[in-house]
């Protein structure tokens, strides 16, 4: 992995490349890497590999793919050309596909794309202040970001989803006055359903030197941050399935 990622960076002209995680299928695992250009908020390019050496680019996800992927349940197989027969799962979607001239199957590769996109959208998080938005609209890393303090690190509100905010405008005016538009342009975690306990588990490891957040909705997504430093990141190691039983489990 350490050898192939810099090569990827060179080949695809990314500014940053990192290892996103690993989705375990029944017969093998997919290793996923992500790369970014200068604008951090642009849609990311994703690559997958079966052996960490040869990487193939994944096409960006389309809405149909996302919708279909939600229907497909069960583990990934480990073989990218495996086809899920949609006829069993969703007769309507299959019928629609047949009408449009395609076969009613869904390739595992497409499911992989959609799943990675979903996970990123749902639980890709960053600490507050790590990214700033310039008045021109592009998003950059904040070089002055010194890390969260211990007290801040334990609060859910100091972490944001790194996706286009949906609910930001609905906040009351009072709350908006406190926000700083350059750093608070993303959605905070504390409004994640279910409220209260939330769908995140925050833990301090090693006596407070590392803060670890684990998502309970996508089991296997782990986010770490070392308080008072610039280090943070998240990685996914799991089966690639959403945990729909979350409300029962809390």
Partner 1 sequence: HGPYQPHEPGYGLDQPGYSPYEDVIPDPHARMLAIKNAKAYLLKTSTKSGLNLYDHFANILTKILDEQPTNTVDIIENISKDVKWAQFRKKMDTLRDEPLIPPTCEAAEKCKALFVREGGEEEREEVEEEMGEPALPNVMEAAFYFEQAGIGLSKDESYYIFLALKNLIRVQPIQKCRFWGKILGLEMNYIIAEVQLREGEEEEGEEGEGTAAEGEKETGEAEEDEQKEKEAEPPKSTYKPPPEIPKELHGTGTNKFVYFVCNEPGKPWVKLPPVTPAQIVCARKIKKFFTGWLDAPVVSFPPFPGNEANYLRAQIARISAGTHVSPTGFYQFADEEEEEEEGGADTYEENPDFEPPPVAEMVESLATWAHHVKGILKQGRCVWINPTQKSEENEEEEDEEEEEDEGEEQQEERGPPLLTLISEDEGMKDIPAWTAQASTNLIPEYSVAILQSNRWPGAYAFATGRKFENIYFGWGHKYSPESHTPELPPPAQAEFPSGPEITETVDPTVEEEMAFKIAQEEALAEAEEEEDEEGEDD
> Which spans of this chain sit near partner 1 (rule: CB under 8 A)?
24, 26-27, 73-75, 150, 197, 201, 203-204, 206-209, 214, 216, 219, 238-239, 244-245, 248-250
Which candidate, 201, 246, 250, 249, places its Cα nearest to that of 223? Answer: 201
**Shortest spacing between CB 239 and partner 1, in angstroms:** 6
**Shortest spacing between CB 187 and partner 1, in angstroms:** 22
* 183, 198 Cβ separation under 8 angstroms: no
Judged by beta carbon, residue 88 or residue 164, the one nearer partner 1 is 88
**Shortest spacing between CB 244 and partner 1, in angstroms:** 5
**Shortest spacing between CB 208 and partner 1, in angstroms:** 4
**Shortest spacing between CB 51 and partner 1, in angstroms:** 8
Judged by beta carbon, residue 165 or residue 238, the one nearer partner 1 is 238
Judged by beta carbon, residue 71 or residue 163, the one nearer partner 1 is 71
Judged by beta carbon, residue 166 or residue 244, the one nearer partner 1 is 244
Judged by beta carbon, residue 96 or residue 242, the one nearer partner 1 is 242
**Shortest spacing between CB 202 and partner 1, in angstroms:** 8
Judged by beta carbon, residue 175 or residue 180, the one nearer partner 1 is 180
In whole angstroms, what is the distance from residue 186 CA to residue 179 CA? Answer: 11
């Amino acid at each position: 992995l350490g050898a192939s990622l810099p090569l990827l960076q060179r080949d695809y002209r990314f500014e940053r490349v990192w290892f996103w995680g690993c989705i375990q299928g029944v017969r093998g695992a997919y290793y996923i890497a992500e790369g970014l250009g200068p604008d951090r908020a642009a849609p990311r390019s994703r690559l997958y590999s079966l052996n960490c050496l040869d990487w193939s680019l994944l096409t960006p996800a389309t809405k149909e793919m996302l919708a279909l992927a939600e229907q497909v349940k069960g583990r990934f197989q480990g073989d990218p050309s495996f086809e899920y027969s949609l006829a069993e799962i969703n007769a309507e979607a299959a019928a629609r596909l047949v009408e449009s001239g395609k076969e009613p199957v869904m390739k595992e590769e497409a499911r992989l794309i959609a799943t990675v996109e979903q996970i990123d959208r749902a639980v890709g998080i960053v600490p507050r202040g790590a990214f700033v938005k310039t008045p021109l609209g592009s998003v950059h890393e904040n070089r002055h970001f010194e890390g969260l303090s211990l007290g801040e690190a334990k609060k859910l509100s100091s972490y944001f989803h790194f996706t286009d905010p949906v609910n930001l405008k609905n906040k009351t005016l009072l709350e908006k006055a406190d926000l700083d538009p350059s750093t608070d342009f993303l959605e905070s975690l504390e409004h994640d359903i279910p409220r209260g306990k939330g769908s995140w588990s925050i833990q301090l490891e090693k006596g407070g030197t590392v803060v670890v957040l684990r998502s309970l909705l996508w089991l296997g997504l782990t986010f770490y941050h070392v308080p008072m430093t610039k280090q943070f990141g998240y990685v996914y190691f799991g089966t690639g399935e959403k945990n729909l039983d979350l409300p029962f489990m809390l």
